[in-house]
Structure 1
Amino acid sequence: MIEIVNKQIRIDGKPQMIMCGEIHYFRLQREEWQDRLDKLKLAGCNAVATYVPWLCHEPVEGRIDLTGKTRPELDLAGFIDLCQENGFYFFLRPGPFIMAEMKNEGLPYWIYDKYPEIIPVGWDDRLATTRTVDYLAPGFLKEAKRWYQAVMEVAAPRLQPNGGNIIAIQLDNEIGMLSWVSNGPDLTDLVLDDFAQWLESSYEQEELTKRYPFDLHNVEGRKAGIRRPDESYAPALHLDLGHYMRNRFTRYVDELRAYAEEFGAKDIPFVINIHGTGGGRGFTFPIGISQLYETYDGKSGYISGSDIYFGDLDMNTFQDLYLINGFMDAVHDEHQPLTSVEFNCGDGNFGTTYAGRYDISAADLKMRMCVAQGNRLINYYLFCGGRNYVLDEKPNDGNDRVAFTGERHGFAAPVSPEGELNYTFGRMARGIQAVRAVEEKLAVMKEERDNVVFAFIPDYYMTEYRYPGSVQMKAIYDNIEANRAHWSWETMARAMLLAGYRFGAADIQNKPLRAAQVPVLALLSARYMDGAVQRKLAEYLREGGRVLLYGEVPLYDMEGEPCTWLAEALRLHHVADHSEALHQYPSVIAEEWAAPRPEVRTHFAQTFEAAGDGAETFLRLLGSGQACGFELPVGQGRAIVITTRYNTDIGLYRTALERLGAAPGLTHDCPHHGIFMTSTRNEAGERFLHLLNLDGFEKSFCIYENGGPLFDGKKVVLGSKDGVMLPLNMEFGGIRIVSSTAEIMGIGINEMTFRLTQQWDRIVIQTDLGILPSAQYSIETHGSSQHIVSNKHARLDDRMTIQFERPIRAEKIIEE
């Protein structure tokens, strides 16, 4: 039995960490399967994931081969069974779309020939430039149902509740992504008819007539009005189209789930894959959340998973991953856990040019941050490479293979197409093994948070369909993009994390916003914001909420109409907007509590006059003296507002948050920054301290919690690009680890193995089991505690095993 409860994945009642590797059975010779599974065991994983490519299994209509009769490597049942024989759970991803660099994104060629109406038509009657389809076209759904029937006939008997090893099924893949990246919304005749019905159910007729000056029932007029919108209603269309597409994707997902359940797939979670990282960064990832959150938000039996595709975790990218996880969790219910179903690993050499090379720390550090934030499933994608075979019915497209990457595929994976381990494998495996060693603890832990929450507004990321000819659309969404990400989230989120803040996120658009649950809100704000969201923020402030606003105070709603609910609550009157220009270098000076600070160059400032009693200005433009930084009382609450592009001044943001009532619980004294810290706790009070060094040089520092020193005030050394999970107050049978500078790597019958990290590691233990002496360590007794001090330098040998006189009474024994 599989349950999704309290942010946990429970299998037969036991919370689990699922560490998974993606292996494409159809890209390997059948005799290679066992070798790749052996390497997955070597890495420490406990699950296998794979796509099931419709293109491969039914290249000719009506001839589905899932047993390997046409090609031995297409025996899906055989592969799943082999995985179970090797002790692996299984994560099934049957599409219909799979992407994975497959031709047609994994759909058979004959579908497009048989149902040409499924090919979308978009802006200005242009055909789609990608191989996407109209998801709800009857012809496509008919064939998708038949495909699911065939796959579920294999899968249903092998579900974990039925005695098998399949623990989850993904429904389609990256839904909506192809239309977004190509700016090619699906506007077929069928979709426009459905859209018109949705509009009529969403608006009163009088309002609808005002919004759209054409007859929605006139087919030709509707086509022209929507595919080539007039500027007078283009912003309204953009907003409505985005909301409608969410509804459409939800219906598609529910349709696929109904097929799966009809054919026997029950009592396991269904997974929605969220796309969006690009260009090595996470700025656009929330677009995927915005598109798809209605498919799973608050729905029993669904979980969502991220696609994490950026390389090294460093000072450029670390806040991206932290925010991605926070925003995903913001739209989950109280039970849905975080997962990552495409967690990029390997060396980054996707073009076989030896460019884009990742550091060995890339997968390890990203995994550690995700686990610290509550990810319960990590699927390493792609764990091993393979080969793309030639289709029997050749499409004559230049290579005639099932995919467009050539013969070899997954050449950047930790395991090459030929089965060789690349340089990233060892470090990735070390991290996985560290998680598996303490998985019964991690599987139930939650991140500890400080009294600040990051705001998430889904409609700020609903920018994927833009009519190319609309000046208004461009103005609105250029401004939103400028304020929702890039400089803005880099500046504020990075400063908060470097200051030591641990924070989650809140969907302030769709969910209640109460000061009791959200003491302090960090808000990235644009010039445009929905009126209902503005009113919610104003009420939150009046009732005692506190807001740190960075960006612009909104003056318009999301359709470009004047809307100043929040500005009026703040009692700020807009004066002017200032931007840098040729030979113009606007600069900002600090005063009051923000002073003394050096003058700071800015490329934009929105200035106001503060009219309320008690308002205090702390940032002004040099020369004009116009104000762009304010501290303002609002009802029982308070706001600090920064409306200029300020730099990543860690001290400024920390002071601002502390003035609002949020202090960081974990701090350190390293002058070089580049340290990420957070902590997790279970209900018993057991904890892990998670530390990452994001830079390529060693750092030595003291760590403080709520002002008091940890580790008796001794400095901790964290190696170049290293990460650790240090246990605090943790019980393993008859052993209590009070603190440790070494990371647990294995628990045996009567021993515990650690990864050393220091010149002399110190593990503080309380136990009556009796500790056997060893040349590896010295034993010091301090009151009721015993201090195990390593006798070897971590750089020379980083493994140390403590042996006990009697067996450890652990619930689960994990050998290293």
Structure 2
Amino acid sequence: MSDVRLQRREVLVDGRPSLVRAGEIHYFRLKRDDWAGRLRLLRAAGGDTVATYVPWVVHERGDGSIDLTGRTDPTLDLGAFLDLAAETGLRVLLRPGPFIMAEMAGEGVPDRIRRERPEALPVGWHGEPAASSDLDYLAPGFLTEVARWYTALGEVVGPRTAPRGGPVIAVQLDNEIGMLAWVSNTPQLTDRACTELHDWLASRYGSALLERYPGLPAAVGFADAVRSPRPEWARALRLDLGLFFRGQFGRYGTELASMATSAGMGGVPFLINIHGTSGGSGASFPIGLSQVLETYVGRSQMAAGSDHYLGDLTLRTAADLHLINAFMAAAAPEQPGMTLEFEAGRGDYGDDLGHEVDPSAVVLKTRLSLAQGHRLLSYYLFAGGTNFVADPPRTDGTTRFAITGERHGFSAPVDPEGRPGATYEATAEAFGVARRLEAWLADSREEHDDLALGMVLDDYLTEYQPPLAEGDDADAVRDLEHGRGAGPRDLLGRVLLTLGLRYGAADLQRDPGPDGWPHLIVLGSPTARDRAVQERLAEHVGAGGALLLLGALPTTELDGTPCTILADALGVAVVREMRDGPGRFTSVIEVAGWGYGTERRVGRLQTYDAPDAQVLLTEAMSGAPAGLLVQPTGSGPAVVIGCDFGADLAFFATALERLGVTPGLRRDAVPGLISTTTRAGDGSRLLHLLNVSGSTLRSAVELDGEALLGGTELALPPRTGLALPIGVRIGGRTLAATAEIEEVDGDHVLLAEALDGTPRRAWLDGVEVSVPTDGRLPL
């Protein structure tokens, strides 16, 4: 049906850069007669692709046979569903597991596997069985069973893949790899894994192994020692397990890709989804990215998509989503941005009216992700359905194949009974945004100012925390969680977006490419920092680059080994660390005149000895320096904010200016207003504006020192967004306008009505022209 390739951060459909607009519909949760109606609703909303899990636990019947043809139940005729999707004009994104989660019993893997392949059952700390439905991905018996599942799938799916004229344009391998181990703090410490861990540690550390793990036994007794580690091993083991399983999961991805290809499902992109949002926050998302990094990075025709549940879009969650998108792009710069589970619906997953998400959220999230380079968005869950009685009926508190009762997808845009709900129109609007802007976004690049947020994925090696680690390692984990990513309170993302900075991320664990890093690296900083990262940052400043640290100046490596390479390069010594506590209200005073010049309460701080530095912040009681501007002779400048400072926008704006960065896109610094620009392959440019607040926000905009759109003050009503042409090339002309492009029709452009009802203004080749009242502008 379509040839789909991944190339140069783009998704090429039949050779043309495209935006894939998908919605998830579970055929196995619907009566067969209802398939067509749900697919038509997706098509009517503007989707061009249907995504679906294929649950092994449902297709494997009670007698052990696999039914993918409807032999035992017409609902299980996968081929018929794929064919019907094609007839409806939809492509297919297939998600066959083996794990699918999706509130399924056993996370989508048949119970038989756990009974017949007990060697695949993980044990964790102290040899206790896993508290989840996890399995050892690389257990030979499990892989044998997966190969059987994929082989059966290939007989149905293979002939229906895009290279053979079918609708299947991509296959997602497994689902949320590593998530169950993380959320249960249960590494997959099977005998097989422990044997390989022993060899990995010996290869990595050689003769220094016993120095790192005093008293660690050799092969005999090794597994028991790792499962019940000594407290003094805790930090080293936490880090090493994270790195080891990152490699294990990479091998698992390779095995799955090989199996899928052998089964006939190759020739289309293989996708991995990345879990990690928790409690409506994206701060922990990089844990998932760290876990699955080696499953897809650097592999041809493989890519990863995010899987995020952030609830409403506010300034806080917008900064989280921005960080998710930026970190994914930094991890795999040549791969297109994607979201394989893009939260849609009301968010009322408990069916108790306890969590209602504003319908506008899906549109605002779509606009932000598209501006940051996403090429595939799959809305989850688009349509609800029914959990049918399992074969054989289950006896673990439900007879059904899933754990949410009979109805499933309570809050989806289309409810379990097939009725469009309150968020259906909003989801259709989101699809419409992608369709209307595809011509200028499918091959676009976000334009960035000369700065990037630093990404250090090893800061997120906190998914496996050994027991009996209440001392140093528990403190180390809390320190990492406090300072990593966007810094304490996740402040940096919100401040940068509010100030109008256009920024991406830079992978600080990878040497800069030929173009180097941007001039300014902005970094949330714990007190522990990998030696190699400290060295790169010191080299960056030494070569004239700039640095802004929020949180702390590092004093150790991740494993606790003293390391002050960066501090030494800056000419700064850490004198003392102080924290809030009972009866103590740790505070700092801004003394440089950059911001409010007031005292602020902070949770923790460092004080410094830096004779040649300009003091920016002092500890309130002692007057000791707690924030500095330093510039060693012959080096670039650095601002070190040694505490969890607040959102003093004037202070940060001055800091950025002193560090050599000013926003190329200037507008009022209003919380809730988010802005960026994109440039397409033909040079067309769009100005993206979002208002995630509850008030109308107004601002004129300048770009590179010139007033945009005749200096018009743009007004965005609450919870709205715009993508305005500021240099879009159409029909040999260059268009700018104060309204979005609705449609290009021959030699006319249809401009949408302005959101605030003001008259539309437009410029062709830099000359203002009159816009007809119907918005149809002749070229």
TM-score (normalizing by structure 2): 0.96
- With over 3 angstroms needed to count, the CA separation of the structure-2 counterparts of 1:505 and 1:536, relative to structure 1, is same
Equivalent position SS for 1:21: strand
**Which amino acid in 2 is paired with 1:355?**
G
Q: Per-residue deviation at 1:168? A: 0.9
**Which amino acid in 2 is paired with 1:247?**
G
Q: Per-residue deviation at 1:440? A: 2.3
2:687 corresponds in structure 1 to 689
Contact 1:59 1:108 in 2 (8 A): no
C-alpha separation in 2, matches of 1:439 and 1:545: 36
Unaligned runs of 5+ in 2: none
CA shift digits 1:686-728 (9 cap, x unpaired): 1111111111122222122233321211211101100111112
CA shift digits 1:585-609 (9 cap, x unpaired): 2322222352662222222111011
**Which amino acid in 2 is paired with 1:182?**
S
- With over 3 angstroms needed to count, the CA separation of the structure-2 counterparts of 1:126 and 1:753, relative to structure 1, is same
1:451 corresponds in structure 2 to 450
C-alpha separation in 2, matches of 1:83 and 1:801: 36
1:40 to 39, 42, 45: 42
Equivalent position SS for 2:382: coil
C-alpha separation in 1, matches of 2:258 and 2:638: 47
2:743 corresponds in structure 1 to 746
Runs of 4+ in 1 over 6 A off after TM superposition: none
C-alpha separation in 2, matches of 1:230 and 1:699: 57
- With over 3 angstroms needed to count, the CA separation of the structure-2 counterparts of 1:673 and 1:667, relative to structure 1, is farther
Alignment of 1:722-801 (within 5 A): 722-733=720-731, 736-737=734-735, 739-749=736-746, 752-756=749-753, 757-766=755-764, 785-788=768-771, 790=773, 800-801=774-775
**Which amino acid in 2 is paired with 1:279?**
G
**Greater CA drift, 723-732 or 575-584:** 575-584
2:213 corresponds in structure 1 to 212
C-alpha separation in 2, matches of 1:137 and 1:351: 35
C-alpha separation in 2, matches of 1:619 and 1:37: 59
1:318 corresponds in structure 2 to 318
Equivalent position SS for 2:678: strand
The answer to whether 1:95 aligns with 2:69 is no
Q: Per-residue deviation at 1:215? A: 5.5
2:549 corresponds in structure 1 to 549
C-alpha separation in 2, matches of 1:217 and 1:577: 40
1:796 corresponds in structure 2 to none
Contact 1:735 1:765 in 2 (8 A): no
Q: Per-residue deviation at 1:655? A: 1.3
C-alpha separation in 1, matches of 2:193 and 2:715: 59
**Which amino acid in 1 is paired with 2:372?**
Q
C-alpha separation in 2, matches of 1:61 and 1:545: 66
The answer to whether 1:523 aligns with 2:506 is no
Equivalent position SS for 1:557: coil
C-alpha separation in 2, matches of 1:587 and 1:236: 34
**Which amino acid in 2 is paired with 1:430?**
E
Q: Per-residue deviation at 1:665? A: 1.5
- With over 3 angstroms needed to count, the CA separation of the structure-2 counterparts of 1:368 and 1:636, relative to structure 1, is same
2:74 corresponds in structure 1 to 72
**Greater CA drift, 231-240 or 254-263:** 231-240
- With over 3 angstroms needed to count, the CA separation of the structure-2 counterparts of 1:199 and 1:719, relative to structure 1, is same
**Greater CA drift, 567-576 or 581-590:** 581-590
Q: Per-residue deviation at 1:492? A: 1.6
Contact 2:751 2:777 in 1 (8 A): no
**Greater CA drift, 660-669 or 337-346:** 660-669
Q: Per-residue deviation at 1:528? A: 0.8
Contact 1:45 1:432 in 2 (8 A): yes
Contact 1:214 1:222 in 2 (8 A): no
2:25 to 23, 43, 67: 23
Alignment of 1:365-764 (within 5 A): 365-470=364-469, 471-484=471-484, 488=488, 490-512=490-512, 516-594=516-594, 597-611=597-611, 613=612, 615-634=613-632, 635-669=634-668, 672-733=670-731, 736-737=734-735, 739-749=736-746, 752-756=749-753, 757-764=755-762
**Which amino acid in 2 is paired with 1:359?**
D
How many residue pairs align between the two structures? Answer: 774
C-alpha separation in 2, matches of 1:441 and 1:61: 53
Equivalent position SS for 1:578: strand
- With over 3 angstroms needed to count, the CA separation of the structure-2 counterparts of 1:180 and 1:633, relative to structure 1, is same
Q: Per-residue deviation at 1:3? A: 2.1
- With over 3 angstroms needed to count, the CA separation of the structure-2 counterparts of 1:425 and 1:235, relative to structure 1, is same
Q: Per-residue deviation at 1:430? A: 1.5
C-alpha separation in 2, matches of 1:69 and 1:166: 22
C-alpha separation in 1, matches of 2:761 and 2:733: 12
C-alpha separation in 2, matches of 1:785 and 1:478: 57
C-alpha separation in 1, matches of 2:261 and 2:489: 41
Q: Per-residue deviation at 1:118? A: 1.1
**Which amino acid in 2 is paired with 1:19?**
R
1:115 corresponds in structure 2 to 117
TM-score (normalizing by structure 1): 0.92
CA shift digits 1:209-234 (9 cap, x unpaired): 32233455433x21221011112222
C-alpha separation in 2, matches of 1:789 and 1:618: 55
Contact 1:433 1:745 in 2 (8 A): no
C-alpha separation in 1, matches of 2:238 and 2:586: 34
Q: Per-residue deviation at 1:485? A: 5.2
C-alpha separation in 2, matches of 1:513 and 1:570: 24
2:776 to 802, 807, 811: 802
Contact 1:740 1:761 in 2 (8 A): no
Contact 1:741 1:758 in 2 (8 A): no
C-alpha separation in 2, matches of 1:503 and 1:489: 19
Q: Per-residue deviation at 1:385? A: 0.2
